[in-house]
Structure 1
């Protein structure tokens, strides 16, 4: 399952190219590429293995067909690339599943690293560690052609509507901080629940990250409409996604070094183009 040996597969059409605008610097210490990480049992859940967690379920285009072991999908591919950078063979990758909020709650973990579109925030850093970011994205409003949100061209047009998102996510907090709807953000356990509520007319629109927005609007909704991106506050970056590790994990610097190496050699850009590439545009709402 080497990232260099695995044949490339094109993601389904309808996804947007999302720019990977990350400029992190490599952490100090022994370079991860030496393979020393896999040779040492210190800090790992299972010595000689790397235990990687993702969601239950894991969604396209991040993981294809809810099968991370295949290495297909952006986050599945990034996980195997990081494992290889750390010196682990594909057979030494062990996958487990966790809930989204469970993964970022304080306390011990049954995984070495976890990736399921976790935005790096100061609040979450109080409970867990993050690697340097492997991807940067924005939040996007999605609706259907029959919804009153379909004609929205500004944030003001959305304020009196029912807007929902998965609870505990940046999508949810962005609704509250950027749109500030008069009826508050509508919370759902998963993106699937939010999408179902949209289809049933229980909400007027939902907010998800950019790649997910293009897939939902183009492939899952019968009459999907991509309303637009929510703006990033001036002077700030988009949502930077990182690997989650246990708080004060001895592995954090090694995983960060691996991510930084993959960014520097262009692997992260290549994987983003492969799995998140496609056609379409999402205007920025003002």
Structure 2
């Protein structure tokens, strides 16, 4: 009987310790849960060689996209961290869980919609051909047979070039950033490049590039802000609500005018 009582006491003591341990575990888990406040900080991937949308000026990251996402974050009450990378790496980084938001003058395309969800459009753009200044041989796609065309990896310009290569008979040269693409044509290594109209118009005016825009726009497209498909509906709603708020308040037009003078 005494043995049974002693055993019972030991059992009760063990259960009491376990209960205390369980309480401590729950408390620790609760403390860790406080880190959920970090979910209000979103990482944004951008290509910082893409003026006027993202670029470095006096050591500071500026541009339409930078001002826009900061204004949206302020309007919607969340914080952001900017990550710089090649444009072609933005969507893969989102797929790898390294980014929450992708920007960089990203055109809304059906192909990209298979991987990401886009915000409402925030800028109407279009592709254009660019040659070295003074080049009078090229005025459109029909003049590109036997020529070389420089494109930036992962862009709609690169896709357009690939889709039309067989029809117009040019050779494609792929590079990783806008600067390298401009140099390809500026130094005569390639005959022509494809770039979004607002980007190249800004670059030629502000950087005194020895380049010229030729012909009409090759297409029309819209830029959107992207999140990983089907996984960030709440964040996407915040972005759309922020965009709408900025347009209503006039802040959106203010940001565009700052860089485009429109």
TM-score by length of 2: 0.74
The RMSD of aligned alpha carbons is 2.8
After superposition, give the CA deviation of every residue in 1:124-148 in whole Å (9 maximum; x if it has no partner). Answer: 111122111111111121221354x
CA-CA distance at 1:78 after TM superposition: 0.6
1:85 to 54, 63, 75: 75
1:199 to 186, 209, 227: 186
Higher relative contact order, chain-length normalized (CA < 8 Å, sep 6+): 1
Name which of structure 1's ranges 208-217 and 163-172 shifts more when overlaid on structure 2: 208-217
Q: Which has the larger radius of gyration?
A: 2
Aligned length: 225
Measure, in 2, the Cα distance between the counterparts of 1:64 and 1:168: 18
SS in 2 for 1:65: strand
Q: Which has the higher helix share?
A: 2
Measure, in 2, the Cα distance between the counterparts of 1:118 and 1:67: 25
Measure, in 1, the Cα distance between the counterparts of 2:209 and 2:120: 37
1:54 aligns with 2:37: no
SS in 2 for 1:216: helix
Gaps of 5+ in 2: 1-33
1:212 aligns with 2:202: no
**Who is 1:225 aligned against?**
212
Measure, in 2, the Cα distance between the counterparts of 1:156 and 1:48: 51
TM-score by length of 1: 0.68
Q: Which has the higher strand share?
A: 2
**Who is 2:101 aligned against?**
113
CA-CA distance at 1:85 after TM superposition: 1.9
Gaps of 5+ in 1: 1-39, 233-237, 279-286
Distance 1:217 1:158, change over 3 A: farther
SS in 1 for 2:243: helix
CA-CA distance at 1:204 after TM superposition: 0.6
